[in-house]
A and B are shown apart, each in its own frame.
Chain A
């Protein structure tokens, strides 16, 4: 079955960077996009970007351009999301999610368990 397992909670000082991992299993890693979505406490879902694990290409939400980077390691079926210059407003649960469609975007169909990132001095 499709599984996405994320790395553990992080506490960072403002201005620092955080790197979260998302290890995929149960399907062909190269064939499905991975999204990153975050959710601030008590708030809605915010899409951050997408990576094609096969070729490594990415697309980021404009809001995060310049301080976000998504990479992948095909040897371990793991994708990474790096967010720099953290501020208190970045405190949120960060999710990776596998795309539901093959060859088209249908939506975030399979989700990791979430990683809480706390940005606080």
Chain B
């Protein structure tokens, strides 16, 4: 089974400064169709999660452009160019396995304001 490992587990950041979260998979996430099904979700306190990024770097509908995703193979990064107060919460990376139709989440990274 694929294991998704996020670092750091907690990230204190200053408002207006950038933030970065890493996600590493235990094996390559490149699918036979050439796509890499790695997504990022955000969960604000007391709310359900929401999808931010899919297929490494594509922003989902309504997601601000200060959020960006990058990476390849087994190493991926979510970046926030300038952190705002509403960005506080927990961020999860997620892999969707296309053949088995299974989902694997990372353990989550808590973003907090210094």
A binds B: yes
Residues of A within 8 A of B (CB): 33, 35, 37, 44-47, 50, 59, 61, 95, 97, 100-101, 104-109, 111-114
B97: chain A residues at CB < 8 Å are 105
Interface of B is mostly: strand
Q: CB < 8 Å: which of B60, B92, B100 contacts A45?
A: B92
Contact A114 B48 (CB under 8 A): yes
A112: chain B residues at CB < 8 Å are 48
B96: chain A residues at CB < 8 Å are 105-107
CB distance from B5 to the nearest CB of A (A): 12
Per-residue CB contact flags for chain B residues 25-49 toward chain A (1 = under 8 Å, else 0) read: 0000000000101010101000011
Contact A100 B60 (CB under 8 A): yes
Residue of B nearest to A103 (CB): B98
Given A50-B101, A100-B60, A106 and B48 touching (CB < 8 A)?
Answer: no
Interface of A is mostly: loop
| B19 interface residue per 8 A CB criterion | no
A104: chain B residues at CB < 8 Å are 35, 37, 98
Contact A45 B49 (CB under 8 A): yes
Question: Known contacts A44-B108, A45-B49, A61-B102; can you find 9 more A-B pairs with CB under 8 A?
Answer: A33-B101, A44-B92, A95-B48, A104-B98, A106-B54, A108-B49, A108-B94, A111-B48, A111-B49
CB distance from B35 to the nearest CB of A (A): 7
CB contact list, B67-100 vs A, under 8 A: 90, 92, 94, 96-98, 100
Contact A44 B35 (CB under 8 A): no
A35 to B39, CA, bound (A): 15
Q: CB < 8 Å: which of B37, B51, B108 contacts A109?
A: B51
Contact B48 A113 (CB under 8 A): yes
CB distance from B111 to the nearest CB of A (A): 14
A105 to B94, CA, bound (A): 11
| B66 interface residue per 8 A CB criterion | no
Contact A107 B50 (CB under 8 A): no
B104: chain A residues at CB < 8 Å are 47
Contact B39 A47 (CB under 8 A): no
A70 to B39, CA, bound (A): 24
B55: chain A residues at CB < 8 Å are 106
Which of B43, B96, B105 has the largest count of A CB atoms less than 10 A from its CB?
A: B96
